[in-house]
Structures are given as C-alpha cells and as structure tokens.
Chain A
Amino acid sequence: MSIVDIPVEDAGALAAGRREIRRDIFRDLRRSPTFIVGSIILLFWIICAIFGPVIAPHSPYAQNLLGINKAPSSAHWFGTDQLGRDMFSRVIVGSRDILIIAPLATLLGTVLGTVVGLFMGYFRGLVDDVLGRFVEAFLALPVVVTGVIALSTLGRSNLVIIVVIGLLFTPLIARTVRAAVLLERELDYVAAAHLRGERAPYIMFVEILPNVFAPIMVEFTVRLAYAIFAVLTLTYLTLGVQPPSPDWALDINANYGVVPAGYWWEVLFDALAIASLVVSITLISDSVQGALEG
C-alpha cells in the first residue's frame, strides 16, 4: 500500500522561501530610511503626547507675567509667549490633543468607509448606484468649509471634530475599498463560498475583508496626514481644540499677531512641530505603500 501513497511534493523548502519573503517585507521597511526617519519622528511625538507633562521642564499653563515674550535662552529653550508661558513645554504637551483627535477621526472614517465600500463592491447594481450617489455628493464637500459649518452649528467639542472629519473621510475610503472589493469578488474563492451556501455578510467580512486589508492600511496612513492638517486648520480658525490647551494651531492663532514685533519664536516652533508630524506620517505611508506593492 505504501507505494500507492505517493510522497507529496515536499512543501518544506518552498514554504520556508515564502515565509522568508513575508519577513522580507518587514525587513524592507526596517531598512528603508524613509520608514525609519518617519517612525522616529512619529514616535517622538507619541512619547511627548503620553509623557508630555513629565518631560516638560515647566508647566505649559504656568503664566509668568514678569517674563513675557522672552527670546529663546537656556532657561526657556523656545522662549516664552505673551503670557510668559514656556514655549518648549507648550510644544511638547501640545502634541496631545492632535494625536488623539486625528487618529480617532481617521479610524472612524476608515471603519465606516470600509463597510460602505464592501457593500458597494460586493452587491454592485442598485446598492452601488445609490450609495455611489451619496459618496459622490460627500466627495464634493470641501473638508474645511464643511467642518467650519458643522462645528459652528453643532458646537465646538473634540467629539464633533472627530465625527465630522470621520464622516467626511468615509466616502474617500469607501471608494478605495470598493475598487479593491470589485477585483476580489471576481476571484474563485468567492464563488466557492457561494457554493457552500455562505451568506453575504460572511463573504464580505470573513472572506473578502482580510484580502483588501493592504489598500485599507495604505489609505489609513494617507488619510491620517490629511486629518492632522484638517484638525489643525479648524483649530487655527478657533473652531477646533479650545483654550487653554497648548495645541500648536491654537498657539499659532494666538501668537501670529506678535510676529511682526519680532517674537518669531512664539509661532515658529509650533509650525515646525506641525510640519514634522505631517511629514513623518507621509514618510511612513509612502514606505508602507512601497513595501506592500513590492
């Protein structure tokens, strides 16, 4: 009997090879200077957001009316603002709100967008047409203008910012997910699931979803950078994060008027912080995209 039982082609060597390739994607990422630089900057800001009050040499809120508008010095590395608060401490702690609001807003948009995209791509036809009209209508709304209107009518709270930006991002993500699902649903494993009598939710969420995870990941990182920008813009327009938060955009709004008077440090370091955070996310999203698309 043993001779009939053909030894199966040995998968060992091949399997090892494939596993190596997957490990190589991570190795690629770790070796990619883009990814490393982006991660270091992001990690720095995450640490600041979590441990800010501990790291900061002064309280970001402590006013010192005797030392207002002081230029950077060894006592106050980034100088002090119009109320004599330590700018360095404010920049450090100022990362907290944005790093809570922007990721939550993006996450909300991604989850909703993924669900909408799965429905559109999977059912096509009428579902796609109807949802598609909504998506197109939403896509036509400019994020900041809509945000301004929503925040001024619904009230200014972090929750409203998260919901507004999340909803505005939903159609963008839905569009990407829909395109990926349209390709996936033509594959035979979906037909095999139909032949097993699987229901639509199972096919969408268990069979298809894991296979469209890569484009969702890329879209998430791209959107995150935009979300940071949008939140800070709204804050700058005084509709977002509210005082006394040491938020960067809030500080810029409060201090830009005194720049002509020569107090540049009260704006510059906040601006640099914003730029570095956005750039770090963009670097990460570029390298993730590159690694996934090989």
Chain B
Amino acid sequence: MIVCKKPCTLYDVDLAGLSALTVLGLLTYFAVVVPIQTHWDTYRDLSARQNFSETVLRQTGNQLRKVEADIARLQATIATLTRQAPQPGWLPQFLSRATVLAEGTQLEVFQVIPHATQVVDECLVADIEMSGRGHSLDFIRFLDALGRENPYQSLRQFSITRREESDDGLCDLSWTIRLRMLPVASPGHTEGQS
C-alpha cells in the first residue's frame, strides 16, 4: 500500500518501521538509560561513602594503635610503681626503719604509736605518732633522711619544744607521720590486668 507518493514514496512498512524504531528508542530510554543513570548515581554515592568509611577506618585504627601503645606504657609504669609502693604489710617494717633512722640521727625515741589504718582518697593511710627528745637540727636531719628514703610518707603534725630548764639545747619532740599504702589489690586492679 502506498501512503504518500510525493515528494517520496512512503509505504506502510515505512510507518511500521518508524514506529518500531520509536518504540525501541523509548524502550532503550526507560529500560536501559534510566536504570544505568540510576546505577551510576548509586555507584558514585557508594564509592564516596566507601572512601569516607576507609578514611574513618584508618583514623580509628591509628587511634586504637595509639591507645594500645598508651596502655602498654601505662602498664609498664604501673608495674614498676606497684613494685615500689608500700603494701599494707609494710607498716611494721616502716616503723622499725623510722625508729632506726631516728636513733641514727641522735634522737631518743620514747614512744611509737601506730594508729588504725584508714582509707583516705582511695589509699590506705596509717598515722604513726612518735615522741622523743633531741636537738632540733637532728630532728631536721631525721626528717630529711626519712623523706629521702621513703617518699610515701608525710609529716602530718609535729611539735618541737625547747626545754627551758636545760642548757644543752635538747627539745621535746612529738610528730605524726602518715604512711600512704596501696590498698589491697582488687581483681580489677591486679597487675596482670592493668
């Protein structure tokens, strides 16, 4: 069948062919181009998120390594300090050592009264009252020697009273030393875990 004769002859198959190509074009657009465009957008978005995620992963990994290094350093330091720090069982040894030091600095010790152990600021503390007699400079030497030997104690109270009746410079001395000790290690604070 001839549809049109001039300027060119058009047959019915021409219309059918054009229609088929148009349908194919539409099909291509909706079934291929649009999905590819969507997939491309999605892929681009996923790639960007993946890159961001990888960056965050690297940063988190670095942070984790830094924290683990900190933990290792802390563990080593804590292990050393724990070995050096006084434990609750050290009190008799400390009393003996303080008395020896006092006598070594020419102080005459009359009385040593250890008080009950208490918990202060998470530490075990034991107050030790001592009294004696000696020269004030010897007492200073005693304090200096004790401080150098044991930094875990502090002088909490003291009194230096010069005896008026004596000309030899002897003083009545009384002082209280506070020894700070590690509390008994709880399971969460054992050296192995820490």
The answer to whether A and B belong to the same complex is no
